[in-house]
Amino acid sequence: MPSDDPVVDQASRPPMTHGPDAAGRFGVYGGRFVPEALMAALDELDIAYRAAICDPTFTQEFDHLQRTYTGRPNPVTDATRLSEHAGGARILLKREDLNHTGSHKINNVLGQALLTKRMGKTRVIAETGAGQHGVATATAAALMGLECVVYMGAEDTRRQALNVARMELLGATVVPVDAGSQTLKDAINEAMRDWVTNVDSTHYLLGTVAGPAPFPEMVRHFHAVIGTEAKEQTLELAGRLPDVVAACVGGGSNAIGIFHAFRDDADVALYGFEAGGDGIESGRHAAKLSVGSSGVLHGARSYLLQDEEGQTIESHSISAGLDYPSVGPEHAWLRDSGRANYESVTDAEAMDAFALLCRTEGIIPAIESAHAVAGAIRVGKRLGPAGLILVNLSGRGDKDVATAAKWFGLVTDDEQKQGSS
Amino acid sequence: MSVLAETFAAARADNRAALIAYLPAGFPSPVDCVPVLAAMVENGVDAVEIGLPYSDPLMDGPVIQSAVEGSLRAGTRVADVMKTVAGVAGTGAPTLVMSYWNPIERYGVDRFATELAGAGGVGVITPDLTPEESQEWTRATDEQGIDRVFLVAPSSTDARLAKVAGACNGFVYAASTMGVTGARTSLSSGARGLVERVRGVTNLPVCVGVGVSNAAQASEVASYADGVIVGSAFVKALAEADSPAQGAAAAAKLAADLAAGVRAGRRHA
């Protein structure tokens, strides 16, 4: 029989000004809206997480992996030629694209995989959109000898076939999800169903700062290294704090990861750029913080694309990683409080920035990250040459070469089909 | 005494468990939903749950997911759910709504509770709302005299069972197994233990759902629970039928079988 509710040590919680509170809420956002069957597992996770981050054995192992496996610290690069296209503002790129597996996702995954072992669980499940989180999870599972199942929308398995192959090479089982819109939202539904069924043996290795408490806080913690490193590196390179920190926002993990270290620096403006798709007015976008409304999806209250009766509206973006109708609850809180600004970047603007970064800096970014670059160029034109902008380049674009080649007309549809068959 | 309490009292007086059936509103079609449920009530269903179709039903297995998607495609709205409740309540069977939380919050908790009471609905089951997040909902349902039913699971600690049962009225919904809705070939032995643990913390009736699909399983559950909840099996019978008439007949027959099951269960106990 399960034991009684454990008591969580209130003293181990972070200061309230950074959220969340003891109920896992960031203001009115966050919380836990889940089937009762998962409440025990969330309590177990909460306790294991809080104990782990205070345990030197855990933190040393995590730090060791970050240095010897992920390749941290990754550098900050001065994008001098790009800056000419951004009103002359100085642009610094935090190079999460240089991490093992090609994006920031590995930070959180290694932390949660270590935690999975610590909890005595043997199986991890994950959702993935672009495939970056799935690849990172499959990688950590292989490294630590855990069984791994990744749920991926059937539409996304077609858009990101290369990442499906990578996950399978790493020993993971990829399950295409045919329900609903066949994208990230439906993959999360299916992962939650698996978790409810197999919660004794399985940890749900959620890939972003969304979901029920303690996921938003825990995933932030494992990604906070991005901002901690970048702040120090920016001071070293520029001798001062940036005027603006910019990141793309899908679920919001890379943005929270770089924002967190700057939360108390009132002179540093935080900018999140969400996917504007075909444009806000087209209705085909993923700009929940710009035009969404408060609601509950996937276990937490946050901003959401929904109709007037609370049915989720499908999102659209050229970037599978940003193609999600909700967002982590901390972003909703940062938005309402005015601490962070959120704007949208269309597919076309993102692809222009993608091309520009390739040609000016020799860096092929993930299309997700290209949204942040586009946003930085926009903000740079407002700031002018005195401006200093730190951009989280959250991932590299190897996975997006086929999409980009098609967008820029470098291959025909027929050639693409032949290439992928 | 509430309508729901009367139903459980009557079943208890009859030395049996109550039979509770679920269908999503708008299924098998907008016009057939109420007549099919009426036929099920005619054949022994004691109380009805009307599912509010939702785009992201993460507690539901493939059978109900598919039915709900079809209902949403057919254009089912909250107003249609309320009309369905009114239609089924007209048969005299206590009628509840089963809804994920976001549609209720978005519609407005007071508006939802008021319209449901107006339609003759007696309660709401919320599979993804926990007592911790339910202050507004508690106030709104209390004001309208609507019963609130939360779920407990085999993984719930004793402290949580007390908390969840304390937040319920009408009955406590015990999920028989860890997992989503849908038929199981055999029922988890954990269900009986869970019901016993819930009885240790509340005097409310305890009903068991998730995975109960045939008369034998209904009979087994009826030997220890106050109510047996069946959903996916009805949905499957209707989804597999060749015509609306055949579907209605299959659902009515399943209702009769299950009603016999809940009666057999208690006599053997």
Which tens digit of pLDDT belongs to each residue from A58-94?
999 999 999 999 999 999 999 999 999 999 999 999 9
Q: Look at residue A8 and tell me whether its pLDDT is greater than 80.
A: no
Under a CB-based contact definition with an 8 Å cutoff, are residues A187 and A153 in contact?
yes
Local confidence band at A238 (pLDDT 50, 70, 90 cut-offs): very high
In a domain, B30, yes or no: yes
Q: In A, which residues are within 8 Å of B107 by CB distance?
A: 309-310
> How many Å separate Cα B70 from the centre of its chain?
20
In a domain, B148, yes or no: yes
Mean per-residue pLDDT, B154-182: 93
Find the helix packing angle between B244-268 and B215-222, rounded to 10°.
Answer: 40
Q: What is the DSSP letter of A6?
A: P
Ordered strands of the A90-95 beta sheet: A76-78, A90-95, A388-393, A244-249, A269-277, A340-346
Whichever domain contains B56, its CATH number is 3.20.20.70
Mean per-residue pLDDT, A111-118: 98
Q: Round to whole Å and give the CA distance between A347 and A159.
A: 15
A351 in the same domain as A261: yes
Q: What total number of domains does chain A contain?
A: 2
Residues of A near B (Cβ–Cβ under 8 Å) read 1-5, 23, 31-41, 179-180, 185, 189, 192-193, 196-200, 295-299, 304, 306, 308-312
Whichever domain contains A301, its CATH number is 3.40.50.1100
Provide the pLDDT for residue B242. Answer: 94
Rounded to whole angstroms, the maximal C-alpha distance in chain B is 48
A321 in the same domain as A173: no
ipTM value, please give it. 0.95
Provide the pLDDT for residue A329. Answer: 98
Range in A6-20, A170-184, A386-400, B184-198 the model is least confident about: A6-20
pTM for the structure as a whole = 0.94
Q: Strand ranges (DSSP E) for A314-387?
A: 340-346
In a domain, B264, yes or no: no
Q: Round to whole Å and give the CA distance between B25 and B67.
A: 10
Which tens digit of pLDDT belongs to each residue from A369-410?
999 999 999 999 999 999 999 999 999 999 899 899 999 999
Q: Look at residue B25 and tell me whether its pLDDT is greater than 60.
A: yes
Q: Round to whole Å and give the CA distance between B194 and A265.
A: 51
A92 in the same domain as A57: no
Q: Look at residue A416 and tell me whether its pLDDT is greater than 80.
A: no
Q: How many CB pairs below 8 Å do chains A and B form together?
A: 125
Mention every residue, 6+ apart, whose C-beta is less than 8 A from residue A117: A144, A146
In a domain, A51, yes or no: yes
Nearest to B157 by CA among A333, A77, A5: A5
Mean per-residue pLDDT, A184-189: 91
Interface contact A199-B178, CB threshold 8 A: yes
DSSP string, A137-178: HHHHHHHHT-EEEEEEEHHHHHHTHHHHHHHHHTTPEEEEE-
Residue that is written with structure tokens 């991926």 in the block: A152
Provide the pLDDT for residue A415. Answer: 65
In a domain, A19, yes or no: no
Q: Look at residue A338 and tell me whether its pLDDT is greater than 70.
A: yes
Active site residue ranges of B: 49, 60
Q: What total number of domains does chain B contain?
A: 1
> How many Å separate Cα A362 from the centre of its chain?
24
Domain that holds residue A144: 26-66+105-215
A162 in the same domain as A300: no
A117 in the same domain as A48: yes
A334 in the same domain as A303: yes
Q: In A, which residues are within 8 Å of B130 by CB distance?
A: 32-34, 36, 39
In a domain, A17, yes or no: no
A133 in the same domain as A78: no
Three-class DSSP category at B51: strand
Mean per-residue pLDDT, A135-158: 95
Provide the pLDDT for residue A51. Answer: 97
In a domain, A12, yes or no: no
Under a CB-based contact definition with an 8 Å cutoff, are residues A147 and A121 in contact?
no
Residue that is written with structure tokens 């303690």 in the block: A214
Domain that holds residue B31: 3-259
Kind and range of the H or E run holding B87: helix B78-89
**Which residue of chain B comes nearest to A299, CA vs CA?**
B128
pLDDT, mean over chain A: 93
Which tens digit of pLDDT belongs to each residue from B89-127?
999 999 999 999 999 999 999 999 999 999 999 999 999
Q: In A, which residues are within 8 Å of B129 by CB distance?
A: 33
A370 in the same domain as A258: yes
Q: What is the DSSP letter of A8?
A: P
Q: Are strands A173-177 and B95-98 parallel, antiparallel or unpaired?
A: unpaired
Interface contact B178-A196, CB threshold 8 A: yes
Q: Look at residue A259 and tell me whether its pLDDT is greater than 50.
A: yes
DSSP string, A15-72: PGGGS--TTSEETTEE-----GGGHHHHHHHHHHHHHHTT-HHHHHHHHHHIIIII-P
